[in-house]
Amino acid sequence: MPVALENIALPLAMPGTQRTLAVYRFTPATGASAGKCYIQAALHADEIPGMLAARHLITLLEAADREGRIAGEIIVVPAANPIGLSQVVSDSLLGRFNLDDRTNFNRHYPELAAPVAQRIDGKLGMDAAANVALVRKTMGEVLDGITPRSETDALRLTLMKLSYDADIVLDLHCDNEAPVHVYLGEPLWPAGRDLCADLGSEVQLVARVSGDEPFDEANSAPWWLIADLIDLGDAPLPAACLAATVELRGLADVSPEIAGQDAANILRFLTRRGLVKGEAGPLPALKREATPLAGVELLAAPVAGIVSYRKQLGDLVKAGEVVADIIDPVTGASTPVAATVDGPLWSRRVMKMVPAGRNIAKISGSRALEGKGKLLLTAR
């Protein structure tokens, strides 16, 4: 059977312990591959919706394999962070940050653009496919030359070695309370419209570089950053990896029905892109055009207290409108929090008691905001 389950042992674990990464590989039974897609879930191990969706997707792909419909290489890693999954403290799963070094599991992936550019400078020709193959070969060589210094670094390196040569990379996450939304590299728009439409994404956020080398960007951004480092001349070098962070709603949106629909949507996209044989059907209408990640307003609580929202997810908010009130349960004082941009409200907090300064909502503006800086992602 062309379906294989591999358990990759992570090195550098504490003595007497061992963690493994379960990797499902689907490959065509016959004929040339139609490309490669890599999908992982729960890199932030406390974000459960993607894990269940990945499990449902594996079941759908197993059925497609039995029917001879797998046309490309498809890798699915349903639980991409066994380190984070082990961090259960006082009945709470703390899977976003490594409790050992306090780093975010979705930051600080190997930066490939500079070392690859140095090695391929002067070697690119006029054949785009050959240039892509050379860059991927060089990426693999760079990754092979990295020696991890910790178990977390070993996990990052292992995930990159599984994904670096993929045409499509989907990193499944979730927000606090939110609809489906997608983060993409700006050069991948509008090529990624079909992904967002098939997923039913309500907000698409784009940035050329978002900062701190998250997993999706570590795979996609080298394809356009190389051109900043060397003179390509007339040599064509396309953005050969459509990598996206896919946020599957909020933390509490976990059910077989939701996961099944998300898995079906991903399978439809893979079918549309030719990695699975079949009819994808008409492309659903895109719910909203892409807006800059630098245009996201992070509404913060000016005082500590209980968040009481006036606006619901999906509401179109105008600058000056009050989105929420922060209520002091002791004094009864109420402090309004107003938007300063026009746009959809697409993220709210699950935990309604907040300290001063904590983000309570996100609104997607149509233009980049001043003072955003180079680090555009939250929870660094």
- Claim to verify: residue 235 and residue 324 sit in the same structural domain: no
Let me know if residue 380 belongs to a domain: no
* pLDDT, averaged across the chain: 96
- Claim to verify: residue 146 and residue 174 sit in the same structural domain: yes
pLDDT at 301 over 80: yes
What string of DSSP letters covers 341-372? Answer: S-EEEEEE-S--EE-TT-EEEEEE-SSPPTT-
Give the range of the structural domain holding residue 349, as residue numbers without chain letter: 292-364
pLDDT tens-digit readout, 84-112: 999 999 999 999 999 999 999 999 999 99
For residue 58, the number of C-alpha atoms closer than 13 Å in the C-beta half-sphere is 21
Average pLDDT for 241-251: 98
- Claim to verify: residue 138 and residue 211 sit in the same structural domain: yes
What string of DSSP letters covers 39-55? Answer: EEE-SSTT--HHHHHHH
Look at the chain and report how many structural domains it folds into: 2
Let me know if residue 162 belongs to a domain: yes
Let me know if residue 379 belongs to a domain: no
Let me know if residue 372 belongs to a domain: no
- Claim to verify: residue 246 and residue 353 sit in the same structural domain: no
Task: Identify the band that residue 373 occupies on the pLDDT scale cut at 50, 70 and 90.
Answer: confident
- Claim to verify: residue 250 and residue 213 sit in the same structural domain: yes
Let me know if residue 224 belongs to a domain: yes
- Claim to verify: residue 217 and residue 330 sit in the same structural domain: no
C-alpha pair distances (Å), 71 with each of 32, 151, 278, 282: 8, 35, 10, 20
Let me know if residue 154 belongs to a domain: yes
The enclosing domain of 304 has a CATH number of 2.40.50.100
CA pair distance 211, 92, nearest whole angstrom: 29
pLDDT tens-digit readout, 226-242: 999 999 999 999 999 99
Last residue of a domain, one of 245, 262, 289: 289
Last residue of a domain, one of 289, 311, 326: 289
Last residue of a domain, one of 263, 289, 315: 289
- Helix, strand, coil percentages (3-state) for the chain, rounded to 5, are 25, 25, 45
| pLDDT, position 374 | 84
| pTM as predicted | 0.97
